[in-house]
Structure 1
Amino acid sequence: METEIPAMLAARQLILPERFTFHSARMRMKHVTKDELAAMDAQSDRCALELSDARVDVLGYACLVAIMSMGHGYHRESEKRLHAVTVANEAAAPVVTSAGALVDALGVMGARRIALVAPYMKPLTRMVIDYIEAEGVEVVTHKALEISNNLEVAAHDPANLPGIVQGLDTSGVDAVVLSACVQMPSLASVARVEAMTGKPVVTAAIATTYQMLKALELAPIVPGAGALLSGAY
């Protein structure tokens, strides 16, 4: 969230007139486990309140798996509750979750069958797959990288992702989710994987950027950020 989304907004500024400032409030988590994710999510109201003090125009909840680990459809409940926090603070702003953004992005792209890469341990990856499939999208093939330490997730080299995708059968999918986690960097490899597979590629960070721009009523266009932000949607 704090690296790739500002990078995409900065790239957009090179071709379009809008300018952005970026503000963050952090929920604590060290290891990507179900218990730590639940404790992390419990801090989201505080973060929404802090950010609304800055009178921001849109809020993005960054952790996809924290939302998905709370039960099917939880992104709708979270977005509604956190928006209410901003309203109560007299600073009403729309709230986008990366979980909801990814699900919605797949709908926008018309993707019903996908390949997915996630950094999570296998049980959490299965939870993410179940969440996405409960929203009507089939995860045909996937790869769980089994990285539990959150800082190691951030340090994963995006140059490894094309090789990982090559190990998946993407012939029957509509799209590739190159990173189901905003913490795992992937932006640098999106164009290469699109060229390699002939499929549109989306990530949690790209989907979140798309939904934030839509919430701001701005054209969802970012150069070099894959099919979803190409202007085709």
Structure 2
Amino acid sequence: MPPRTYRIGQIVPSSNVTMETEVPAILRARERVAPERFTFHSSRMRMTRVTPEQLRAMDADSDRCAVELSDARVDVLGYACLVALMSAGPGYHRQAQQRLHTRTVDNGAPAPVVTSAGALVEGLRTLGARRIALIAPYLRPLTRTVVDYLTHEGIEVVDYRALEIPDNLEVAAHDPGRLPGLAKGLDHADADAVVLSACVQMPSLSAVEEAEQLLGKPVVSAAVCTVHQILRALELPAFAPGAGRLLSGAYAEGPAGPGSAAARG
């Protein structure tokens, strides 16, 4: 019997070029050591600058994207913009996940929904990380929004670095090779884990394991956490080589991801 192929749907900002690179890279690495296969499908929401106004307008377009992706009968749907949800208020990722899942149900193609905002929260909880340090590309006020959102979820941010890059394509052009050094400069001694990129647009996958070796503690990114939750939503073991501790296999099993068949009962 041939291995099963899963369709991965992503709702992405129109200027995002990273999640359609890093999510497939992680799952292609998994394909080398596991039988499942994956295809990738996207729908886009208009956004070019990471401002509160553009984020609100973009989020309003996510319902259309969920319907379009459910037309393709995707097996899971990922909302690939962390700060758009976090800037909408504490706990908003849960509301977004339920709303978008309902859109797929109404379209006759129910699919679990993972958001990068919720995935970061769940990934850190999976690691048992109650205190973290993080790097974000956003302007300082939006970075503070991320910090406050995580604090509301019971995760203390002991230090953070805002790179203050407003243009989303410039975020994608940031050199991931700089991130381990930036992470080392954080006050991370009391942190249980470090978030190398609290943004799905800032590339970081190639630097995650280097940063873990440098810091001696778990390092995650929004993209890594999103893949972990996508696999759990599909009720697959959540592991992939080359993506750090969270996907090492140590946390391959556990509670099903949000919206999965098991989670829905």
What's the TM-score once normalised by structure 1's chain length?
A: 0.99
Match 2:160 to one of 136, 142, 146:
142
Give CA deviations for 1:23-56 in whole Å, capped at 9, x if unaligned.
0001110100000000000000000000000000
- The match for 1:167 is 185
1:12 and 2:50 correspond: no
- Counterpart of 1:25 in 2: which secondary structure? strand
- The match for 2:170 is 152
Give CA deviations for 1:118-175 in whole Å, capped at 9, x if unaligned.
0000000000000000000000011000000000001101001011112112111000
- Following TM superposition, the consecutive aligned residue runs of length 4 or more in structure 1 with deviations greater than 2 angstroms are none
1:223 and 2:241 correspond: yes
**Distance in 1, Cα, partners of 2:187 & 2:34:** 37
Give CA deviations for 1:180-208 in whole Å, capped at 9, x if unaligned.
00100000000111000001001000000
Identity %: 67
**Distance in 2, Cα, partners of 1:103 & 1:191:** 20
- Counterpart of 2:42 in 1: which secondary structure? coil
Match 1:75 to one of 69, 93, 97:
93
Give CA deviations for 1:73-102 in whole Å, capped at 9, x if unaligned.
000000000000000000000000000000
In the alignment, structure 1 segments of 5+ residues that lack a partner are: none
**Distance in 2, Cα, partners of 1:168 & 1:177:** 11
- The match for 1:187 is 205
- The match for 1:30 is 48
Match 1:203 to one of 207, 210, 221:
221
What's the TM-score once normalised by structure 2's chain length?
A: 0.87
- Counterpart of 1:176 in 2: which secondary structure? strand
Match 1:212 to one of 223, 230, 233:
230
User: 5 Å matches for 1:30-69?
Assistant: 30-69=48-87
- The match for 1:232 is 250
Paired residues, number: 233
**Distance in 2, Cα, partners of 1:163 & 1:201:** 13
Letter in 2 for 1:13: E
**Distance in 2, Cα, partners of 1:166 & 1:205:** 20
**Distance in 1, Cα, partners of 2:39 & 2:210:** 29
**Distance in 1, Cα, partners of 2:34 & 2:49:** 38
**Distance in 2, Cα, partners of 1:103 & 1:39:** 24
**Distance in 2, Cα, partners of 1:24 & 1:66:** 17
In the alignment, structure 2 segments of 5+ residues that lack a partner are: 1-18, 252-265
**Distance in 2, Cα, partners of 1:128 & 1:166:** 20
**Distance in 2, Cα, partners of 1:221 & 1:163:** 26
**Distance in 1, Cα, partners of 2:98 & 2:110:** 12
